[in-house]
Amino acid sequence: MSFSALQLHPTLLETLTSLGYGTPTLIQKQAIPLILEGRDVVAAAQTGTGKTAAFCLPLLNALCKGKRGPAHSVRCLILAPTRELAAQIGDSVRTYSKGLNLRSQTVYGGVQVYPQVNGLKRGADILVATPGRLMDLVQHEAVNFTHLESLVLDEADRMLDLGFEKSLNELLTLIPKSRQTLMFSATYSDHIRKLAKLWLSNPAEVAVNKRNQVARTVRHQLYPVDKARKGELLAELLGRQHWEQALIFARTKRGADEVTEILQSQGFNAGAIHGDKSQPVRLSTLDKFKSGKLSYLVATDIAARGLDIQNLPVVINLDLPHVAEDYIHRIGRTGRAGQEGRAVSLVCADEFESLQAIEALLKTRISRKEILGFEPDHRVPDSHPRSQKKAVKSAKPNKSKKQLPTPDVTEGPGLRTSPFAKHPFSK
């Protein structure tokens, strides 16, 4: 199937040809015809499958046939959970709408609100926004939803994770009941199903992958290491592997800054982004990483979605995420569009429960490898079921042998008390 078979506007088809788009991806093949019919759609597809084009193209197709609304009005609203994702969607909208004479604007927090207020005075055909900044604009009476035709909730599960449910509920009372609503997400949890019932009317369901499935092209690797030595091991791996680029996830803002300082001190071209960085700094750092001017980007989970890096070879988890599904979002930055990728995790003993949850979600045991000189004093228990059975069996007292004194241990299987200083990347 070609894009022309989807009966899109000729100008859209010309733009897609100039961009080198060949055939639609699976999510595009399934979602675009439904959206063109005016159906509400709830879609689940892993990252890197072309979700943005799947909702942008048919919506632009409809908007170019209608009339622009009055001042402050918005015809199509696209909500995204993070500034980075909103900026990326805004860029895509401008790219796809070239030659269609449509006005678009992107708004998010972290920058002054008044330029955005002024930008909406003439109205917008498409407004891309984060929920918090959108409600700021509502309070300034800068945006009007009377002429709203369509609404997109992109990465809705992440919006809930970030605490935007209140803003979404407020928005629901402001927008017309008669509208087309689309909900796109990398995962499709039970909570999202409930949200879909509230926001969508008799939606068509589209799913191009199994729930919480990761790309088969991604190879997973785990390196056991003591918590206090993660920064050292990370520098060692980067020096050995010679990856041209790597996206590195830390659990905390402080941890992201500290590991970036360690890498920079050893000559690595590294930068950090997180919620405490100003928006101009975050965008500048991302642009450098996307263009290849920055080799290693250290981030908290704000960057787990919305980053589209061409040919990113590896994602490194300096710390495992608390929520197993976030592992999927993180590693979704590599192995995109059928290309090979690597997901590397540095795991310490007190992350064992998180590791178990991730492996249960993946339905596989992640391959382990210890690096000489970085063998952990606090062992990471083996998560293989047979190893767990052996551990239970060996834990039973053997009455036939003289029992040795029990060494001092901390909580957890086989963890010795550590004389080392507190881990520099902890909260």
The total domain count for the chain is: 2
pTM: 0.69
- Among residues 156, 181, 207, the one where a domain terminates is 207
Kindly state whether residues 155 and 243 are assigned to the same domain: no
Q: Which residue in this structure is represented by tokens 């022309």?
A: 4
Cβ–Cβ < 8 Å for 325, 187 = yes
- Among residues 151, 185, 207, the one where a domain terminates is 207
Kindly state whether residues 200 and 223 are assigned to the same domain: no
Kindly state whether residues 310 and 339 are assigned to the same domain: yes
Cβ–Cβ < 8 Å for 259, 317 = no
Cβ–Cβ < 8 Å for 53, 92 = yes
Asked if the structure places residue 119 within a domain, the reply is yes
- Among residues 146, 177, 207, the one where a domain terminates is 207
Kindly state whether residues 197 and 333 are assigned to the same domain: no
Residue 93: CATH number of its domain: 3.40.50.300
- Which token pair is 208? 């191009």
CA distance 225 to 376: 5
Asked if the structure places residue 404 within a domain, the reply is no
Asked if the structure places residue 307 within a domain, the reply is yes
Kindly state whether residues 375 and 245 are assigned to the same domain: yes
Kindly state whether residues 114 and 187 are assigned to the same domain: yes
Asked if the structure places residue 242 within a domain, the reply is yes
Asked if the structure places residue 212 within a domain, the reply is no
CA distance 243 to 237: 9
Asked if the structure places residue 393 within a domain, the reply is no
Kindly state whether residues 224 and 136 are assigned to the same domain: no
Return the number of other C-beta atoms located less than 10 Å from residue 128's C-beta: 29
CA distance 415 to 259: 25
Cβ–Cβ < 8 Å for 58, 32 = yes
pLDDT in single tens digits along all 427 residues of the chain: 788 889 899 999 999 999 888 889 889 999 999 999 999 999 987 666 788 999 999 999 999 988 888 899 999 999 998 888 899 899 999 999 999 999 999 999 888 899 999 999 999 999 999 999 999 999 999 999 999 999 999 988 778 777 788 888 899 899 999 999 999 877 667 777 888 888 999 999 988 755 555 667 889 999 999 999 999 999 999 999 889 899 999 988 899 999 999 999 999 999 999 878 887 888 889 889 988 899 999 998 876 555 677 788 999 999 999 888 888 888 878 876 667 889 999 999 999 999 999 999 888 899 999 999 999 999 998 865 554 444 444 444 444 444 444 333 333 333 333 333 334 444 3
Q: What is the pLDDT of residue 402?
A: 42
**Domain containing residue 325:** 218-381
Kindly state whether residues 102 and 122 are assigned to the same domain: yes
Kindly state whether residues 294 and 223 are assigned to the same domain: yes
Kindly state whether residues 178 and 224 are assigned to the same domain: no
Asked if the structure places residue 213 within a domain, the reply is no
Kindly state whether residues 61 and 116 are assigned to the same domain: yes
CA distance 425 to 35: 46
The 3-state secondary structure of the chain reads CCHHHHCCCHHHHHHHHHCCCCCCCHHHHHHHHHHHCCCCEEEECCCCCCHHHHHHHHHHHHHCCCCCCCCCEEEEEEECCCHHHHHHHHHHHHHHCCCCCCCEEEECCCCCCHHHHHHCCCCEEEEEECHHHHHHHHHCCCCECCCCCEEEEECHHHHHHCCCHHHHHHHHCCCCCCCEEEEEECCCCHHHHHHHHHHCCCCEEEECCCCCCCCCCEEEEEEECCHHHHHHHHHHHHHHHCCCCEEEECCCHHHHHHHHHHHHHCCCCEEEECCCCCHHHHHHHHHHHHHCCCCEEEECHHHCCCCCCCCCCEEEECCCCCCHHHHHHHHCCCCHHHCCEEEEEEECHHHHHHHHHHHHHHCCCCEECCCCCCCCCCCCCCCCHHHHHHHHHHHCCCCCCCCCCCCCECCCCCCECCCCCCCCCCC
- The separation between CA 266 and the C-alpha centre of its own chain, rounded to angstroms, equals 29
Asked if the structure places residue 418 within a domain, the reply is no
Q: Which residue in this structure is represented by tokens 């790219």?
A: 95
Q: What is the pLDDT of residue 195?
A: 84
CA distance 259 to 420: 18
Kindly state whether residues 104 and 172 are assigned to the same domain: yes
In the chain, the amino acid numbered 141 is: E
CA distance 344 to 331: 9
Q: What is the pLDDT of residue 250?
A: 93
Q: What is the pLDDT of residue 215?
A: 66
The torsion region of residue 141 among left (phi > 0), alpha (psi -120 to 50) and beta comes to: left
